Structure 1
Amino acid sequence: MSSLGIARNMYRYLLNAEASILGVKRAKELDSSLRFGRKLELSDPKTLADKICWIELNTDQTLAARCTDKWAVRGYVAGKGLANLLVPAYGPWGRAEDIDVDSLPQAFALKATHGCEMNYLVPDKRALDVDDMLDHAHKWLSEDYPRACVEPHYKLVPHRVYAEDFIGGMNEIIDYKFHCLNGEPRFVLTCSERDKGLKLNLYDLDWNPIDGLQGPMKNDKQIARPKLLSEMIDAAKCLSADFDFVRVDLYESDGRIMFGELTFSPACGVMEYYSDGFIARWGRELRVHGLE
């Protein structure tokens, strides 16, 4: 294991220890300060980050966990009448050895249902190292999502893997992330150039660039307005209706919209790539049941 991997495992261990000894609230505040340089006020939440994290730690997360589960959410999306947005999928499997590689399409992506950064892209199955892919699947299935102690809804998601049709490489797909407050899409974060380290842009719903990003991921180039923006907004509104806050991730490709995922605590809920002023502004807009 690399020195970076060892350091990450040590931090994970310490974070879990903090959560068990000091409580999840205190561990969350410490993690935010140490790792992201952002102070959370969970006893008196005001900003968007404060309120997202407060929701995570103080409300029933049963539905959020179901919709975080990248397989189970497909049923939720279909139940909203949006099955046409779903990318064809295969599985799920609770054991890596149960994956029927021969039955999978020529190009696919293997994913875990219970965490982020658990994706294995296979643009051409003829070049696939099956053992390497299965090693990744074993690793995902055997461990909890590393930050589950401070994002506890992940603990409710069963450990499984599944496959989806391959929709594009890291440098080909733009991810449109609709941030929805009280069932209404309010602004869009785009993610692009993942093969170069990830670049971010921020837009209102009329596709005007807006201020609010900070840090090295801020993109100097603009992203073209998606052709199906209006339809994307409608889909995001439909999928966010049951939640005080959720981020609805969508793609546009070959004249159609595709569903990505629902996210309830983006970037641990801290969202360090947003400026203090930006999260303060949207914190005033978010109404949280149980707080007001």
Structure 2
Amino acid sequence: DFKNPKTFNEKLIYRILYDRSEIYTFLADKLKGRIFVAGILSGSKDILKKDSPLYKDIDSLKEELLKTNECKYLPKLYGIYDNIYDINFSILPDSFVLKTNHDAGGYVIVEDKKEFLKDTKRFSEAMRKLKEHLEKNYYLIFREWHYRGIKPRIFAEELLKNEENGLLDTYKFHIFDKNDMKNNYVQVTTDRFENYQRTMMTSSWEIAPFNFIYEIPTKIPPKPQSLEAMWDLALKLASPFDYVRVDLYQNKDKIYVGELTFTHGAAIEQLVPGEWDEKLGALWHQKRLVDVTK
């Protein structure tokens, strides 16, 4: 019942169908999202107001976006491009990642620029992948409304790696309640590209009694060194919203913000066990960002 939602996934669908605030579109844009993160973490109270840079066209925001490099919680932004032919590899560092701002999966990891440019097959495949993603409207896949209006761009960003030269694990904070921490959970994602593992953890770092799609694991993942600071960061970024997933990366005492996700799993990820769909739904006290015509 999407008009009177009770479960977590019903409430995600409600957000897609009825809570069509343009704020969600701005923050689903991986580039404009940087402006929100830098603004909130610098104490700005006006970042979501109508005169905010978020309401401006992405092409007029290059200077504003490069200023977000001053925020210590964001990976360095090296360049923004309309298409693959605009990428000036000569001024990019030895390692970086190329991403599209408007969808999922549109990324190319470059660990060694010289090797990458020398390998013509790999290079052409990478450029073809980015071109295909650039031409794709992600809204058409799952009908998540907020992806529809993002203007597609490619950007080059700092490649985040740990001491062992591996990619950082992801910590996805599901924030339902800013006042009671036991109602919030963190989704720990490890070995994203080789041996994908997902564990839901409580705020006290115990395995939660549910999972999305996957069975509940028994092994507790290592507790990140900066967990308390990560929770503080996630709560600040979630402060304007009734529910949001805040994705963070951590490397020892360094924390980086990945993105904010408003419709987790496109509202099609089953809860294991199923009763937790309603239990999580009960934690989500909905408030629409905007009223829309029914």
TM-score interval (norm. to shorter): 0.7 to 0.9
| Counterpart selection for 2:260 from 262, 280, 285 | 262
The secondary structure found in structure 2 opposite 1:116 is coil
User: Secondary structure at the residue paired with 1:159?
Assistant: coil
Q: Taking structure 1 as the reference length, what is the TM-score of the superposition?
A: 0.79
1:290–1:72 Cα change, 3 Å: closer
The equivalent residue for 1:102 is: 90
Q: How does 1:207-226 map to 2 (within 5 A)?
A: 207-213=205-211, 215-216=213-214, 218-226=216-224
Give the counterpart letter for 2:266 in structure 1.
C
User: Aligned runs of 1:97-176 on 2, under 5 Å?
Assistant: 97-128=85-116, 129-145=122-138, 147-148=140-141, 150-168=143-161, 172-176=167-171
Q: CA deviation at 1:130?
A: 3.1
Any stretches of 5+ residues in structure 2 without a counterpart?
43-70, 117-121, 290-294
Contact 1:112 1:159 in 2 (8 A): yes
Structure 1 equivalent of residue 7 of structure 2: 47
Which one-letter code corresponds to 2:77 in the other structure?
Answer: A
Gaps of 5+ in 1: 1-40
Query: Which amino acid is the alignment partner of residue 175 of structure 2?
Result: C
More helix by share: 1
Q: In the alignment, which of 187, 192, 195 is matched to residue 193 of structure 2?
A: 195
Q: 1:130 to 1:172 in 2, by over 3 A?
A: closer
Provide the rounded CA distance (Å) in 1 between the counterparts of 2:135 and 2:278.
Answer: 39
Percent identity at matched positions? 25
- Of 232, 240, 247, 2:245 maps to 247
Structure 1 residue 262: Cα displacement: 0.5
Residue aligned with 1:156, SS: coil
Alpha-carbon shift at residue 126 of structure 1 (Å)? 1.8
Which of 76, 88, 100 is matched with 2:76 structurally? 88
Shift of 1:168: 2.9
Q: 2 CA distance for matches of 1:204 and 1:121?
A: 32
1:267-278 alignment to 2 at 5 Å? 267-272=265-270, 274-278=272-276
Number of aligned residue pairs: 251
Deviation of residue 193 (structure 1)? 1.6
- Assess if the C-alpha contact under 8 Å between 1:200 and 1:217 holds in 2: no
Verify the 8 A CA contact 1:252 1:258 in the aligned structure 2: yes
| Distance apart, 1:267 and its partner CA | 0.9
Verify the 8 A CA contact 1:183 1:243 in the aligned structure 2: no
Deviation at 1:274, TM superposition (A): 4.3
Q: Deviations over 1:13-57 (max 9, x none)?
A: xxxxxxxxxxxxxxxxxxxxxxxxxxxx31321011111220121
